[in-house]
Amino acid sequence: MTALAADYFAVPDPADPGRITYWRRTSGTLKPWPAKARYGPVLYRTDLPAGLDAQQRQQWAADWYRENAHPWHDRVRAAIDSAPDECAARFAAFTTRCRQCGKLLHDPASKAYGVGPDCRDGWPEAVLALAAEAVGRAHAAVPQPGDHPAGAVAGAAPTTNH
Ligand SMILES: [Zn+2]
């Protein structure tokens, strides 16, 4: 399958596959989407053992992240690297946003491709067909309409539209 460029991805939480996490790749770095979202294991101050001095706390936290958060993030990256089209189509299907630029999709064709008219300009028919097929698969994979996560992310919308 042709690997299409994409900047936005949706990936099931490696530790909780019933939950989807959303990502934006900028300059090769994956960041949670929307910007204020936090996914994966998080260490809270109250989780730190009592009686450590500042340097020990720092070391304890660094070890915790290396053992818990880093492997989780590695699994997210691996999921995207192994199936970028699938993860990009899932993002578009769940958020009705362009998988390339993140802007809201309006016309039915754009929603079916998961890509806005500007971003898919020049794409060959075969590539568009693959994009639509991937969106269809993402839609079919939604377990229940009630679990559709679009409502959870609807509040943090860029102001520009396709
Ligand atoms: Zn776009």
31: in domain? yes
Q: What per-residue confidence (pLDDT) applies to 124? A: 96
Look at residue 53 and tell me if it is in a domain: yes
- Ligand 1 centroid to residue 97 C-alpha, Å: 8
- Residue 160 belongs to a domain: no
Measured in angstroms, how far is the CA atom of residue 149 from the centroid of ligand 1? 20
* CB of 9 closer than 8 Å to CB of 88: yes
Separation of 98 CA from ligand 1 center, angstroms? 5
**Structure confidence at residue 149 (pLDDT):** 52
Report if residue 157 sits inside a domain: no
What was the pLDDT predicted at 8?
97
The whole-angstrom separation of Cα 1 and Cα 50 is 53
Please identify every residue whose CB atom is under 5 Å from ligand 1, which is an ion: 98, 100-101, 116, 119
Residue 153 lies in a domain: no
At residue 97, the pLDDT reads 97
Domain residues for the domain of 73 are 8-146
Q: How many domains does the structure of the chain reveal? A: 1
The amino acid at 25: R
Q: Reading across the β-sheet that carries 16-26, which strands appear in turn? A: 8-13, 16-26, 29-32
CB 116 within 8 Å of CB 162:
yes
19 belongs to a structural domain: yes
The answer to the question of residue 60 being in a domain is yes
Model pLDDT, residue 5: 64
Segments of the chain with pLDDT less than 70: 1-5, 143-160
Tell whether 37 is covered by a domain.
yes
**Amino acid letter, residue 150:** A
